[in-house]
Every structure is written in structure tokens, then in C-alpha cells.
Structure 1
Amino acid sequence: MTADSMTADAGQTPLSTLPVALDASGGDHGAPPNVDGAVQAARAGVPVLLVGDRVKLHAELGKHAGSSSLPLEVVDAPDVIGMDEHATDVRGRPQASINVCMKLVKEGKAAAAVSMGHSGATMTAALFTLGRVRGVDRPAILTHLPAQGGFTTLLDAGANTDVRPTYLVQWARLASVYLKVLEDRENPSVGLLSIGEEDHKGSGLVVETNALLRELHGKGVNFYGNVEGRDVFKGTTDIVLTDGFTGNVVLKLAEGEAKVLFGWVKEALNSNLKSKLGGLLARDALRGLAERMDPSTYGASLLVGVRGLAFIGHGSADARAVKNALLRAARAHEGHLIPRLEAAFQEQPK
């Protein structure tokens, strides 16, 4: 499977039986990219509940011709958790847009919640409202990184900075089921991020986790062993496990390096007339490469381990990222991801 085949843009998403709740007030840019992305998703067949300030959202929808005939509905939520506020603020603000989104999921009125807003607030709201899958101590942010031959699934990408070996083992099991359900990977391989391939290499956390995963190999987890940083992009394993601190650094390093590399390529191709001509010839190939490395291609990351579908995107997300996040959420719902996660998780050894 290539990176293109797993992106939301690549396939047609069937009309979901339930709408996806979008935190339409969240993110660095507020309503405009959220509403734009929701309109695009609705045109692709995904009904959306736009959660936020009713007046502002209706005004934004008015800028999109034909939006009144699309499966879009505004749900009023006059409050919003700002990007500079504390995640714990969600507990005392029931009218905050992210809380309303999670409540809609909890009550069965929405298939999933998607937010490009405060990631900590989204995680707190999901845990507080939806709870955890039975047997899961801490949920993790599951994200995709472009890699040789397709993509690598990385977790945790930032939900838990301090972890225990048992958390990583649980995430291995959850991620394995996720890839089976949504990406048709029957026996996905699991790698543990370390500073060397040998089982004895790494921190105390890594060494202890390695031993636990060795015991689970062949029992719902296909453990490859330790992998190094370069293996993330080589696609050595389908899944790479690490703590949230390291995973977030890896994610942002990858995104930053991609921008720098493309800047260098652009600079080189504009250095002289011959280079400019070469750039014109390679334009389509470079556009395809940029597509694979663009975070908006993947839309948003799944908060795996909570009893409901919750997706967290970048605060700087554009309309395309919002659309792809909504399509991905609809796919997860259509694939019955949560009940299958719960069932498979309980069937596997503790």
C-alpha cells in the first residue's frame, strides 16, 4: 500500500449514517478553514455538524455557494478553548465547542469528533466525556508519517510525556487492530524506537518494554524488535512505538525537515536558467512528492484508546487538512473501529 492509497483524498467515502462533529471554532485561524473543509467534505458525501458560534458559522457558510443544500448543520457552542489556555479549563466550561463535540459523540448523535484546536483540551475532553477502552491505561496520539514504500504509523505523538512499559504494550495492540481495520494490513509489524537494534540497547523504559513485547509476539502483536530513528522513514516496520515526548519531537522534526528540504530544492531549481528548465520538466514529479510529505494529506491524528472516535489536527490546518480529517473520521466510523478495537483488545492476553 502506498502513501497515496491511505490518504483521505485518494478514495470515495460512503455517506456516513451519522454526521461528524467538527470543532469549527478551533485552530489558529478559527472558522474560515474549518467551514471550507467541512463544505468540501460534505460535497464528498460526509455529513458534518459545525460546532461553534452560531452567528459566525452561518456567516461563514454564506460565503460558500450551494452550502445550504449540503448535509451541514450548525450546533451552537458560544465558548471556545483558546490555544493559549490550559487543557484542564475544559472541565468547567460545558459550552466550549470541543466539549459539545464530545458530548455529541457520547450521546450517539455524531460518529466522531474532529478538532484542529487545543490538542491538550481535546484529549482532556475526550477522556472526561468518552472514557477509555477497557484495559487501556492511557490513550495515545496515533499519526502517520510518509515512509519508503508507503507510510509508518507512529505513536505516541504527544499525548503522554511520561509513560510506563505497559502503556507502550497496550498501544502496540491498539495500533495493530487499527491498521487491520482501516488499512487492510493483516499482520502489521511493530518496532520499538531505541538507539540500537539490540534488545539490551536503550533506556530502562525501552529495555523493559522490549521484554514485554517479546512475550506478546505472535499473540496479537507482531514484534519486530528495536528500530532506530532512520527506520521510521525507511518503513522498516508498520508501527513505531515511543513515548509522547520523543514521538512529538520526531513528528515535528520530520515536518520541519520536509519544509527545509523543499526550500533547498526550490532554491536550487531557480539558481539559473538551466535549472529552471529542469524544474519545469520535473514539476509533476515534485508535486507528487510534495503531496506525500504534506501533513494536510493525512488530515488529523487519531486519539486511540478512548471509547469514541476523536481526531486531533494541527492548529495551523488549512481547509484541505480539515476535509481529509473529516473523511478519515467517517471511514473509521464506517469500519466500526471502536467496537472492533474493544472486542480485539479484550480477546488478547493481558
Structure 2
Amino acid sequence: MADTIRISVDAMGGDVGPRVAIEGAALALRELRNSSFLFHGREAEITPLLDKFPDLKKVSRVIHCDNVISMDDKPSQALRKGRGNSSMWMALQSVKDGEADVAISGGNTGALMAMATFCLRPMEGISRPAIAAIWPTLRADIVVLDVGATIGGDAKQLVDFSILGAALARALFDMETPSVGLLNVGTEEMKGHDEVREAAALLTTASGAGFRYHGFVEGDDIGKGTVDVIVTEGFAGNIALKTAEGTARQIGTYFRTALKADLFSKLGALLAGKALNALRRKLDPRNVNGGVFLGLNGIVIKSHGGTDEVGFKSALSLAYEMARSRLIDKISEGMQRFPAFPGTPAAPLPTDREAKPA
């Protein structure tokens, strides 16, 4: 029997509170049988919800925490008031202490990044952590990072993100040498900021050290799935992510409206029901919910704060897969393959300008 994957949950994070976390875990447990859960938060709110799901309750433990980080707290404020005694901090601390294999929260993104960086610390050789998203494309799912952890980025950070993204692709997609592309305003070598061109030169030299450097890619290459990993800094990455999610919802709305336009449209929808249901699932952002914090000494998953139990279940499934596939070990292996980058500074904590809530 496979080892149990222990998932630490900030049950109070997100827009709705513990209901989404508990109901999402109950859904996930149907597929993730060899898993257990640590729910951190206000016991009086969590326990009655957990009582509704006996199977989940058998493999769960509630750790009471009075303090909750709000969605409006700045990262620095969250560190001051929540370090050591909030549901978010305790979920991370469980990973640090070895009580859990992975932590997940739907709370304030900036606060979570600040706390995770402070609690788990960046891995040796990584200047700053990143948030990676699993992105559905016309070809296959790919990895896109950074999607919001760090605003701006120098060549060193873009190289770090390439190593981290390639390690995630190897862990998630079971591929030995994933292709990596740098997001740019064009594919020509002379285009882009100095930092992007410098990172491109470094990645060209190191191509083959756990990944294959493809070159520059443009925005439309994300949906095409041109490469396995697309690397950018957090400002552009977060805009791309939110644009894609909004476009998916827009297309879905247009689609539903068109199918109800007249009798013939409704009849066509009835006849094509199976195919249309598959398309709806493909366009549903809840099915790819969850960003992976990469570059820390522990695995952290960020769920969208406004998702429902279906979306939280998807994030839990991602958390399970990251722990099961030994993500941290694969990142360490990737770092060993990559040539040393001179003058790597210690990673500072995120400021209130960085890691804006997603």
C-alpha cells in the first residue's frame, strides 16, 4: 500500500471560510484514498462541518487557531499579527515540522507568500520563490510561472524560474527534458528587456541541464502549448493568468447564450450533449485551480480565494500529486544539474508591493 500523503489545510483561508475546504476535501477523498488531512482554524466552525462527512473525519485532525489572516492584510501586517498563531502560519509550520507533506490555503496570496518564505525559507541557490500555474493548451497541459509572486525580475530570477518550472514539469508530466521558453514581445533575439536577453543567453548555454531551452515565445504560444514551460516575471504572468480565466468565462457565457437562442439551437445542444459537456469541463477554471509555490523548502499550494468546493478539490488533488511525485527532490536534482550562478544573494522577504493577492 502506498504511503499516506498528509495534507495541511488552512481551513479559514478564502472568501467563504471552512465550508469550501471541508467539502472540497470530502470530494478529493473519493479519489485520494491514501491521504489524511490537518485542518487549521477555529474548531467550533470546522468540527460541525467535518461531522457531516464521517469518512473524511476518520482521516482528519483539527488544530485550533483563533487568529485568521484577512484577504485585506498586507504581507508585512500578516507576518506581524499571524506569525506563530494563525491558521495560515500553522498550516505551513506543519510542513516545516514534518507533520504534513504539503500545505494548501485559499487565503491572501501576498500574506501566504510572505509567511511561506519566512517559515520554510527558499532553497539553497534560489533567489526568490515563484508561483506556477498548470495551464491547459491545445497540445497538453503546460507550466507557466511566475504568475504573481514577484513583480519584476532580473536574469538570475528568470533562470531560477526556468529551473523550478522544468522540475515541476518533470514531476507532473513525467518527462525527462521539458522544453522551456521565455515570454517576450517577439521571438527575435534583439527584442525584450536587458534582463530577458541576459537570461536567454544563460539558458542557451545551460540547455540540456534538465531542460531544453526553446528560445523566446509570445503570448499566443501559451494557448498553443508551444513549449512545456513558459517563464516570465510575476506582473506579466498574473495578467496573463487573469486574462485567460476571464476569456474562458466569457466564451462559456457566449456559448450558453447561443445554445439557448432558438428551438434549433436547443435541439442541436441536446444532440451534442456529450461533446458539449466535455467542452464545458475544459472551459471551467475550477478544474485547473491551484498554484504551486516553487523554490521553498516545502510544498505550498495556493487555491483561488473565491473558488467553490469543486475548485478546492482540484487544488487538493494538485497538492497530493506534488507531494507524491517528490517535487522538492526533483527541484534539488535540477539545481545540481544547472551550472553555478555567481553571486547569488540571500532572498529577502516579499514587500507589500510584491505578491499581490490573486
TM-score normalised according to structure 1 size: 0.92
Q: CA deviation at 1:15?
A: 5.6
1:284 aligns to what? 274
Residue 286 of structure 2 is matched in structure 1 by 296
Alignment of 1:89 with 2:77, yes or no, is yes
Alignment of 1:219-258 (within 5 A): 219-258=209-248
Secondary structure in 1 aligned to 2:230?
A: strand
- Write the letter of the residue equivalent to 1:56: E
| TM-superposed deviation, 1:20 | 0.6
The aligned counterpart of 2:51 is 62
2:163 alignment partner, one of 173, 193, 201: 173
Give distance in 1, aligned partners of 2:280 and 2:201: 39
The residue aligned with 1:80 is: 68
**1:266-285 residue pairs with structure 2 within 5 A?**
266-285=256-275
**Residue-by-residue CA offset, 1:180-233 (whole Å, 9 max, x unaligned):** 122112211111111111111122232222222212222333111111111100
Q: Helix, strand or coil for the counterpart of 2:202?
A: helix
What amino acid is the match of 2:115?
A
Q: Which runs of 5+ in 1 are unaligned?
A: 1-13
Distance apart, 1:64 and its partner CA = 3.2
- Secondary structure (helix, strand or coil) at the match of 1:47 reads strand
* One-letter amino acid of the counterpart of residue 13, structure 2: G
**Distance of 1:42 and 1:55 partners within structure 2:** 23
Provide the secondary structure at the position in 2 that maps to 1:185.
coil
User: Quick check: 1:205 aligned with 2:195?
Assistant: yes
Partner of 1:23: 10
Q: Give CA-to-partner distance per residue, 1:78-137, whole Å, 9 cap, x none.
A: 111000111222322221111001111000001110001111111111110100111000
CA RMSD of superposed structures (Å): 1.6
- Paired AA for residue 38 in structure 2: L
1:113 partnered with 2:100:
no
The match for 1:50 among 16, 23, 39 is 39
Task: Tell me if the contact between 1:90 and 1:96 (Cα under 8 Å) persists in the aligned partners.
Answer: no
| Distance in 2 of aligned mates of 1:323 and 1:271 | 34
Q: Is the 8 A contact 2:146 2:234 kept in 1?
A: yes
Distance in 2 of aligned mates of 1:143 and 1:227: 17
State the distance in 1 between where 2:174 and 2:14 align: 32
Residues in 1 aligned to 2:303 and 2:172: alpha-carbon distance in whole angstroms = 19
1:77 deviation in Å?
A: 1.3
Aligned residues: 336
SS, match of residue 182 in structure 2: strand
- Matched with 2:132 is 142
Q: Classify 1:128/1:116 alpha carbon distance in 2 versus 1 (closer, same or farther; 3 Å).
A: same
AA partner of residue 34 (structure 1): A
User: Does the 8 A contact of 1:177 with 1:341 survive in 2?
Assistant: yes
- For 1:222-255, what per-residue CA distance to the aligned partner results, in whole angstroms no more than 9, with x for missing partners? 1111111111000111111111000000000000
CA distance in 1, matches of 2:202, 2:333: 22
- Distance (Å, rounded) in 1 between the aligned partners of 2:309 and 2:86: 22
Q: 2: distance between equivalents of 1:191 and 1:135?
A: 21
How far is the alpha carbon of 1:324 from its aligned partner? 2.2
Does residue 24 of structure 2 align to residue 37 of structure 1? yes
Report the Cα offset of residue 276 of structure 1: 1.0
Q: Cα distance, 1:320 vs. partner?
A: 1.7
Alignment gaps of 5+ in structure 2: 341-358
- 2:142 aligned to which of 149, 152, 160: 152
More displaced, 239-248 or 284-293?
Answer: 284-293
**Distance in 1 of aligned mates of 2:153 and 2:27:** 38
**2:209–2:337 contact (8 Å) kept in structure 1:** no
Give the AA of the match of 1:215: T
Counterpart code for 2:62: V
The Cα offsets for residues 241-290 of structure 1, whole Å up to 9 and x where unpaired, read as: 11100000000000000111111111111111111111112222122122
With the length of structure 2 as denominator, give the TM-score of the two structures: 0.90
